[in-house]
Copies of this chain bind each other. A is one copy, B any other.
Amino acid sequence: MRTQKQVSAPRAENSTSLAVETDFSDGLIGFCRTFRAQPLAAETVRRSTDAITDTLACMLLGTSQALEPKLRRALFSPQPLKQVLTQFAPAALRVSSTDTQGSAALYLGTLAHAADFDDISHPAYCHATALLLPALLIRGVALGVSGEDLIRAHVVGVETLGQLGRRLNTAHYERGWHTTGTFGAIGATAALAFLENFTDDQMRGALGVSASLASGVRQNFGTMTKPLHAGLAARSAILATRLAEQDFTCAPDAIEGKFGFMKVFGGTAPASYAKQWGHPLEILTETGIGLKAYPCCAATHPAIDATRRLREALKDNSVEDIESIRVGASRFAMQPLIYDLPNTGLEGKFSMRYCIASAMIDGAVKIGTFEPDQIKRPAIERLMKKITVEIDPLVADDHEFAAIVELKLKSGREESIRIDVASGKPGNWLSETLLKEKFFDCLGAERLNSQAGQVLFKAAQQLAVQKSVEALYQALVQTLGEADVS
């Protein structure tokens, strides 16, 4: 066995672990075996495909964020993006070294999470596809895998992240770990090892190395180092799998042992979190994966959904006909939404009144909604004065930020809509319209050639039937190249 324990030092902690505990790794390996042989359900394909599509958009959005030139210069020295991307070409990737593939994964993973607009998994409390997709794409191109292979590996990654969360959260997260970095290293490694068709022993080897790569502290939230954690996890997957492929040894119980990941990164989850591997698939659970429909605080999302539907109901009436809007929110929504009347775009993202006024006037809440010149628009300021936000007894204790929005027109007409779960959450999956809207918004209409974007969107949505992921990846690299402003 590749991961046999070497008896190089008869330390007390190793010599006592005669019966090696490997339940997590065994569960994952058993799941992989079963899952590989099963047909994919349509809903599984749908969720994975949409999450991948969404993450590609987030990567492109990442090129417009302040961290992009800094990250690029730090990793690749002062080359323009277009020149850097020559290293990302499929032909170059196939012959590139582990470090080059690792840097590519680090770059793409960090971009994907740069604007914090990418998907999230509970109870892992981590951003999933941003950390999973880069390594899968890069190695997938090098290996010539199919679209279905990539989707399956993504599902394995989401499953692994969920199972880690189910065992260690919320304690792990509350201790200060950023799960996107910690669970991420292990989840991305499991997904990549599955994609690479590793033997059971190679899978154990890769997991064991990844236990020693897991890192990321929450103190770095709110800085560029937070999205870096997603990139680091992706890079770790590439290193851990390459080492395991060479029979580089590690403890067989590096995940479960006394000084392994589970115990050292510690915590105990509530019993209610427990679930069998793959029953149901984590990605099909109500917490498995959630996409963000709007580039602002998740606590505003159900109310934005409601407002957009109310706006459609306005029909012949204009915004000027509005007498008042009342937002009935949950207690939990009030906690992060600390800006009543925002002064900056960033504050606007945490202001219910600003988000609702924008949704009503613009019909959508987009990336541009939070540009500096948008915050003080007179029409928005007028409408904000007519909006009240309060805790509504009907939704007060809801953890999903359920909201009731009531619209009163000057004519006396009243409309009210309650939304329990935001668009993009598993229970209210993103419509193709909303997904497409977000996708092209992320690409940045003015900056990017929409034709390349169209090709990318279509390739992503049709991933499951593609014999190779190369066309999708090519479209990504081309679209990234068009984002070059350096």
Contacts and interface: CB of A to CB of B under 8 A. Distances in A.
Interface of A: 3, 5-14, 67, 69-71, 73-77, 97-100, 102-103, 116, 175-178, 181, 185, 208-209, 211-225, 228-229, 232, 239, 242-243, 245-251, 253-254, 257-261, 263-264, 297, 335-336, 338, 346, 350
A9 B225 contact: no
A23 to B, nearest CB: 14
Given A70-B248, A75-B98, A212-B216, A6 B103 contact: no
B98 A221 contact: no
Contact of A224 (B14, B221, B245, B249): B249
A143 B232 CA distance: 26
Contacts of A9: 116, 221-222, 297, 336, 350
A220 B74 contact: no
Given A7-B346, A208-B220, A217-B254, 5 more contacts: A5-B222, A74-B245, A98-B103, A211-B219, A217-B261
Contacts of A97: 75-77, 103
A219 B175 CA distance: 21
A116 B8 contact: yes
A219 B260 contact: yes
Given A5-B222, A70-B247, A232 B217 contact: no
Contacts of A218: 13, 259, 264
Contacts of A257: 219
A153 to B, nearest CB: 20
Contact of A253 (B13, B219, B228): B219
A98 B116 contact: no
A208 B228 CA distance: 12
A219 B75 contact: no
A69 to B, nearest CB: 8
Contacts of A75: 97-99, 242
Nearest to A72: B246
A171 to B, nearest CB: 12
A259 B222 contact: no
A113 to B, nearest CB: 12
Contacts of A102: 99
CB-based closest 10 A-B pairs? A176-B259, A218-B259, A219-B260, A176-B264, A99-B99, A70-B246, A99-B103, A215-B215, A225-B250, A219-B257
A10 B278 CA distance: 36
8 contacts: A13-B218, A75-B99, A212-B217, A212-B229, A217-B259, A219-B257, A223-B251, A225-B248
Given A10-B338, A176-B263, A208-B225, A71 B250 contact: no
B253 A11 contact: no
A228 B257 CA distance: 19
Contacts of A248: 67, 70-71, 74, 224-225, 228
Given A99-B100, A102-B99, A259-B176, A250 B215 contact: no
A264 B264 CA distance: 11
A103 B209 CA distance: 16
Contacts of A249: 67, 223-225
B215 A214 contact: yes
A250 B211 contact: no
A181 B246 CA distance: 22
B264 A212 contact: no
Contact of A219 (B176, B220, B258): B258
A216 B250 CA distance: 12
Contacts of A232: 212-213
